[in-house]
């Protein structure tokens, strides 16, 4: 089954018995938890839109591995046109959910690991890309949501992973076995982790030769023994518990992030895509970060919702044609479309990597991220004075 319906996605997540903690309590039924459910609804939208003919040009593409139809969130980008369709899909989902729909991190991880594994194999004669392709094929055929796990706890930012006073501040290999490795550490701020089927773990920083145990990339299912998730707080999360019809913000949709702890997790060899090749950590991190900076195109979809809401408020107040209000709405549109310009430009300027897949233009993707760290706040500021 290459494409799941929204309901099938929900049922598939329900079946995974994850170890999740929220406010210090273990959560037995995350799918129906009122604080977590809106975030699941946002991911579910990536499945629902793929079932709707009017959105299939953006949400569905062809697997370069099999030629079968797959959800674009599991695809390896084959051209600049693919990269442009990706950001269009992200803007659409931002419009439909007005929130983070969480599935981009895994997609960006797929494209980074696919290309980096290929280049490691070229240098060392390893078979990481073949292993990764098997995992990717599984993700495509089962239409999986995969969390992209890069950020470590880090500790002293002035020291490399192996120089830290506490060696577990960066995720590392603590045991090497014939059939795989055991890893220990944590990945912080994992977007959509409780709504994912699998987690794809990558290093987070440039590594020195002595950081060999930290140069590890792998994927495991979320119900793997000794893997625990602590959900991060959101500023308005308990509002969702109030049972009110009003003043609950974006009550149907939302994002979530969590600290994911690997308390001696076993990873079998077939799921390892880098193991000790420290000099390739930078490549993997830069590519992931680059893809992800362009993926912030999603915020223009959220911006569309904000602009629409501001215009509606002006209309309700009987002042839609007041010149100072129109000026502010125009400025909001200007900021939103400036973010969009950098996302689209970074996609059209994409280039082919040695593995054959396409990467966005890294400089323009950085401009996109810079814009996204400033403009949504300026837009919200304009709205507040409409
Ligand atoms: C809502 C949310 C969702 C996220 N989702 C994900 C996810 O799905 N997957 C994932 O892997 N990560 C995720 N992240 C993590 C995000 O990518 C990191 O927060 C980000 O990379 C910054 O890392 P940090 O928080 O450790 O800050 P730091 O790296 O500590 O940065 C803090 C400040 O210190 C500076 N600094 C850091 N190191 C140095 C140094 N050596 N020298 C000088 N200055 C330095 C930085 O420039 C910055 O100004 C998410 C974060 C948030 C907030």
3-state DSSP of the chain:
CCCCCHHHHHHHHHHCCCEEEECCEECCCHHHCCCCHHHHHHHHHHHHHHHCHHHHHHHEEECCCCCCEEEHHHCCCCCHHHHHHHHHHHHHHHHHHCCCCCCHHHHHHHHHHHHHHHHHHHHHCCCHHHHHHHHHHHHHHCCCCEEEECCECCCCCCCCHHHCCCHHHCCEEEEEECCEEEEEEEEEEEECHHHCCEEEECCCCCCCHHHHHHCEEEEEECCCCCEEEEECCCCCHHHHHCCCCCCCCCCCCCCCEEEEEEEEEEEEHHHEEEECCHHHHHHHHHHHHHHHHHHCCHHHHHHHHHHHHHHHHHHHCCCCCCHHHHHHHHHHHHHHHHHHHHHHHHHHCCEECCCCCEECCHHHHHHHHHHHHHHHHHHHHHHHCC
Q: Is the model's pLDDT at 23 over the cut of 80? A: yes
Which residue CA neighbors atom 22 of ligand 1 most closely?
151
Does 340 map to a domain?
yes
Q: Do residue 254 and residue 367 come from a single domain?
A: no
| One domain for residues 163 and 78 | yes
Q: Give residue 182's domain range.
A: 6-279
Distance (angstroms) between ligand 1 centre and the Cα of 292 equals 13
What does the pLDDT read at residue 238? 87
Model confidence at 384: pLDDT above 80 = no
Same structural domain for residues 151 and 25?
A: yes
Nearest CA among 132, 135, 137 for reference residue 120: 132
Residue with tokens 């400089």: 363
Residue 386 pLDDT class (50, 70, 90 cuts): low
Residue having the nearest C-alpha atom to atom 52 of ligand 1? 189
Ligand 1 site: residues with CB under 6 angstroms? Answer: 105, 148-151, 154, 157-158, 187, 189-191, 257
Burial of 246 (0-12, 13-18, 19+ CB in 10 A): exposed
Q: How far is the CA of 189 from the centre of ligand 1 (A)?
A: 9
Nearest CA to ligand 1 atom 12: 151
Q: Tens of pLDDT along 337-368?
A: 999 999 999 999 999 999 999 999 999 999 99
Kindly state whether residue 1 falls inside one of the protein's structural domains.
no
Pair 214, 122 in one domain: yes
**How many Å lie between the centroid of ligand 1 and the Cα of residue 233?**
17
pLDDT score at 339: 98
Tell me how far the alpha carbon of residue 151 lies from the centroid of ligand 1, in angstroms: 7
Ligand 1 mutation pick, 149, 157, 255, max ligand atoms within 8 A of CB? 157
Do 71 and 179 fall within a single domain? yes
What lies within 8 Å, CB to CB, of 370 at 6+ separation is: none
Whether residues 271 and 371 fall in one domain: no
* Tens of pLDDT, residues 225-255: 999 999 999 888 888 888 888 888 888 999 9
User: Where residue 261 falls among pLDDT bands split at 50, 70, 90?
Assistant: very high
With beta carbons less than 8 A apart as the criterion, state whether 227 and 291 touch. no
CATH of the domain at 346: 1.20.140.10
Q: What is the mean pLDDT of residues 193-213?
A: 98
144 and 15 inside one domain: yes
What is the distance in A from the centroid of ligand 1 to the CA of 367?
Answer: 17
pLDDT at 204 over 80: yes
Interatomic CA distance for residues 44 and 301, integer angstroms: 17
The number of distinct structural domains making up the chain is: 2
Mean of pLDDT values over 125-138: 98
In a domain, 286, yes or no: no
């Amino acid at each position: 089954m290459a494409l799941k319906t929204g309901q099938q996605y929900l049922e598939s997540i329900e079946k995974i018995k994850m170890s999740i903690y929220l406010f210090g309590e273990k959560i037995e039924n995350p799918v129906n938890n009122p604080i977590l459910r809106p975030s699941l609804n946002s991911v579910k939208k990536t499945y629902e839109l793929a079932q709707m003919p009017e959105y299939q040009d953006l949400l569905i593409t062809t697997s370069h591995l099999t030629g079968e139809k797959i959800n674009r969130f599991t695809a390896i980008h084959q051209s600049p046109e693919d990269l442009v369709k990706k950001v269009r899909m992200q803007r659409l989902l931002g419009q439909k959910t007005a929130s983070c729909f969480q599935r981009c991190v895994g997609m960006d991880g797929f494209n980074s690991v696919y290309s980096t594994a290929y280049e490691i194999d070229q240098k060392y004669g390893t078979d990481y890309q073949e292993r990764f392709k098997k995992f990717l094929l599984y993700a495509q055929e089962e239409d999986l949501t995969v969390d992209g796990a890069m950020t470590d706890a880090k500790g002293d930012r002035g020291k490399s992973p192996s120089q830290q006073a506490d060696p577990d501040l960066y995720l590392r290999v603590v045991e090497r076995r014939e059939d795989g490795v055991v890893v220990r550490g944590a990945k912080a701020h994992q977007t959509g982790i409780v709504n994912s089927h699998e987690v794809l773990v990558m290093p987070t920083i440039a590594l020195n030769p002595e950081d060999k145990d930290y140069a590890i990339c792998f994927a495991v299912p979320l119900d793997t023994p000794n893997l625990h998730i602590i959900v991060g707080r959101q500023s308005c999360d308990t509002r969702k518990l109030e049972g009110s019809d009003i003043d609950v913000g974006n009550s149907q949709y939302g994002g979530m992030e969590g600290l994911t702890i690997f308390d001696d997790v076993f990873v079998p060899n077939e799921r390892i895509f880098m193991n000790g090749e420290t000099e390739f950590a930078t490549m993997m991190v830069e590519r992931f970060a680059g893809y992800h900076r362009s993926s912030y195109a999603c915020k223009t979809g959220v911006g569309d919702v904000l602009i629409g809401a501001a215009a509606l408020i002006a209309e309700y107040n009987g002042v839609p044609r007041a010149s100072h209000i129109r000026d502010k709405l125009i400025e909001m549109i200007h900021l939103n479309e400036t973010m969009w310009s950098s996302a689209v430009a970074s996609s059209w300027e994409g280039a082919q990597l040695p593995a054959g897949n396409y990467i966005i233009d890294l400089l323009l993707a950085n401009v996109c991220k810079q814009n996204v760290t400033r403009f949504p706040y300026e837009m919200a500021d304009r709205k507040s004075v409409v």
